[in-house]
């Protein structure tokens, strides 16, 4: 693992030395157990887009139940954080919405980028992720989010992050590494579902409704797959759906023509169908084979009734 520190307008050799020591150690902690390489670029900051703290930041322990960042590679974080969350309860509530995206492996640096903002490492002044790190994560992950009906949020607009100041940056991989680090999958996001209880609960939480049914037919409409369901449905999670909405339910698998969905190739099975209403259309956000023999599946269905889901509507606006 390699770390680079650029010298820019340093007042003295001694000052440069100690700053290099301090941030090299910090970045080493941030990158523990990771294969990616990171750089700390520049030292003198002219970046004026920092947070407007209501109270002075404090260095606190990263709690175990902050799932997004509890294993990021360092143990303490600044609070308030760089997204101006002033309480740990607010950090946990907002950060929990991003855990499923990290699990999707849409970019190898998603967790580092997000944790640099949600749980910034303790330093004398905040260090933001570089703009191109944001752009790399957004490029890999926004198509996944769009498939679930979620836009890339304004709070993570890449243009507001620094590109010439001190920042956490991804070292560009060579051509060979690039083919193995993209994280892209040819399986449609809604269909790439492990039969694990936690994973199924995450997909259910990211969906507004869930029910058991069979699929009548699948056709292509522009770049999407149009999924027509049979009339009989067993409601698992109603959301805002009404009986009249259920009668002629048609779902769309966003950009389904460009990815594969094995579940849609066998229309004889019963499936757990997950979806959300976005722009007057119902999106297919998850599809699991209804498997009574699976302990994980049965546990997920049972836990759904009492499981506390992240408040996605407070994050992805």
> Is residue 75 pLDDT above 60, yes or no?
yes
Kindly give the interhelix angle for 110-118 and 131-147, rounded to the nearest 10 degrees. 110
> Is residue 303 pLDDT above 90, yes or no?
no
Report pLDDT for 21: 31
Q: What are phi and psi of 115, to 5 degrees?
A: -70, -25
Give the residues across from 77 on adjacent strands: 60
pLDDT in tens, 21-74: 334 334 433 443 343 334 444 333 333 445 555 567 899 999 999 999 988 889
pLDDT-derived band at 85, boundaries 50, 70, 90: very high
Report pLDDT for 105: 87
Report pLDDT for 47: 36
> Is residue 235 pLDDT above 50, yes or no?
yes
What is the average pLDDT across 172-189? 53
**Spatial contact of 182 and 277, defined as CB atoms under 8 Å apart:** no
> Is residue 137 pLDDT above 90, yes or no?
yes
What is the pLDDT of the chain when averaged over all its residues? 78
Q: 304 or 50: which carries more pLDDT confidence?
A: 304
Whether cis (ω within 30° of 0) applies to the bond prior to 80 is: yes
Report pLDDT for 315: 54
> Is residue 234 pLDDT above 60, yes or no?
yes
Report pLDDT for 171: 57
Report pLDDT for 215: 93
Q: State how far the alpha carbon of 74 is from the alpha carbons of 29, 60, 112, 115, 137, in Å.
A: 5, 11, 11, 10, 21
Report pLDDT for 11: 36
Predicted TM-score (pTM) above 0.75: no
- The least confident of 224-228, 262-266, 303-307 is 303-307
Domains assigned to the chain: 13-181 (1.10.2000.10), 197-314 (2.40.50.120)
Report pLDDT for 283: 95
> Is residue 14 pLDDT above 50, yes or no?
no
pLDDT-derived band at 178, boundaries 50, 70, 90: very low
pLDDT in tens, 88-107: 999 998 998 898 889 888 99
Report pLDDT for 51: 55
Q: How many Å is the maximal CA-CA distance in the chain?
A: 76
> Is residue 248 pLDDT above 70, yes or no?
yes
What is the average pLDDT across 118-125? 90
Q: Is 96 helix (H, G, I), strand (E, B) or coil?
A: helix
Share of the chain above pLDDT 70, in %: 75
**Spatial contact of 58 and 78, defined as CB atoms under 8 Å apart:** yes
Report pLDDT for 55: 67
What does the alpha-carbon distance between residue 141 and residue 4 come to, in Å, rounded to a whole number? 27
Residues ≥6 apart with Cβ < 8 Å to 26: 74, 121, 123
Report pLDDT for 34: 40
């Amino acid at each position: 693992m390699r770390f680079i520190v650029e010298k820019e307008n340093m007042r003295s050799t001694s000052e440069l030395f100690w700053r290099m020591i301090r941030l090299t150690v910090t970045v080493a902690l941030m990158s523990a157990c990771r294969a990616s390489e990171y750089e700390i670029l520049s030292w003198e900051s002219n970046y004026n887009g920092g947070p407007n703290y209501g109270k002075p930041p404090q260095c606190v322990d990263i709690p175990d139940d902050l799932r997004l960042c509890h294993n990021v590679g360092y143990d303490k974080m600044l609070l308030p954080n760089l997204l101006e969350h002033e309480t740990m309860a607010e950090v946990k509530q907002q950060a929990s919405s991003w855990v499923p995206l990290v699990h999707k492996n849409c970019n190898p640096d998603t967790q580092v980028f997000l944790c640099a903002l949600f749980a910034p490492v303790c330093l004398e002044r905040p260090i933001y992720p570089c703009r191109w790190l944001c752009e790399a994560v957004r490029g890999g992950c926004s198509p996944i989010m769009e498939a679930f009906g979620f836009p890339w949020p304004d709070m993570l607009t890449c243009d507001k992050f620094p590109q010439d100041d001190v920042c956490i940056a991804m070292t560009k991989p060579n051509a060979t590494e690039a083919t193995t680090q993209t994280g892209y999958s040819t399986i449609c996001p809604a269909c790439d579902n492990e039969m694990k209880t936690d994973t199924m609960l995450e997909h259910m939480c990211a969906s507004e409704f869930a029910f058991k049914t069979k699929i009548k037919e699948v056709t292509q409409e522009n770049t999407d797959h149009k999924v027509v369901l049979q009339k009989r449905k067993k409601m698992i999670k109603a959301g805002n759906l009404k009986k009249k909405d259920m009668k002629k339910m048609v779902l769309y698998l966003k950009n389904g023509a460009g990815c594969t969905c094995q579940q849609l190739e066998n229309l004889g099975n019963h499936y757990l169908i997950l979806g959300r209403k976005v722009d007057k259309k119902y999106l297919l956000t998850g599809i699991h084979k209804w498997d009574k023999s699976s302990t994980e599946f049965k546990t997920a269905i049972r836990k759904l009734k009492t499981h506390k889901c992240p408040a996605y509507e407070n994050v992805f606006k």
